[in-house]
């Protein structure tokens, strides 16, 4: 509704294009002057190379693997400890029954 002071965007025809009177040029930054591109205006992004991101992925997998192995060791140790305690109790019960069963 342009008559009501509202502007309706249609595709690439936005309010700035309407105000300037010229369409946008892809790959350039608006209102900065001729020859100023996106990289020049905003700078080059700092992306990791694929090899360094593979290295960090490998490091993360290694760390997770080590943490899981440590957790499994702790759980296994606790299980062995419980089994040993149970075995000792059963041995004590067996020995006490043997002592009681011996004839006098």
What is the total count of domains within the chain?
2
pLDDT of 74-93, one tens digit each? 999 999 999 999 999 999 99
Question: Are residues 58 and 86 both part of a single domain?
Answer: yes
Question: Are residues 31 and 52 both part of a single domain?
Answer: no
Q: How large a percentage of the chain has pLDDT more than 90? A: 36
Assigned domain for 82 exists: yes
Q: Inform me whether the pLDDT recorded for 1 exceeds 70.
A: no
For 97, the domain range is 47-104
pTM assigned to the model: 0.41
pLDDT of 93-104, one tens digit each? 998 888 776 665
Around 17, how many Cα atoms within 13 Å sit in the side-chain half-sphere? 12
pLDDT of 25-43, one tens digit each? 666 666 677 777 777 777 7
Contact (CB, 8 A) for 56 and 48: yes
Q: 49 by DSSP, 3-state: which?
A: coil
What secondary structure letter does DSSP report for 34? T
């Amino acid at each position: 509704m342009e008559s009501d002071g509202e502007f309706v965007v249609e595709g690439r025809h936005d309010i700035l294009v309407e105000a300037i009177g010229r369409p946008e040029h892809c790959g350039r930054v608006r209102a900065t002057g001729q020859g100023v591109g996106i990289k020049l205006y905003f700078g080059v992004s700092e992306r990791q190379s694929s090899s360094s991101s593979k290295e960090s992925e490998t490091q993360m997998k290694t760390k997770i693997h080590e943490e899981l192995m440590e957790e499994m060791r702790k759980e296994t140790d606790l299980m062995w400890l419980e089994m040993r305690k149970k075995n000792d109790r059963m041995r004590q019960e067996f020995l006490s029954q043997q002592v009681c069963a011996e004839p006098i």
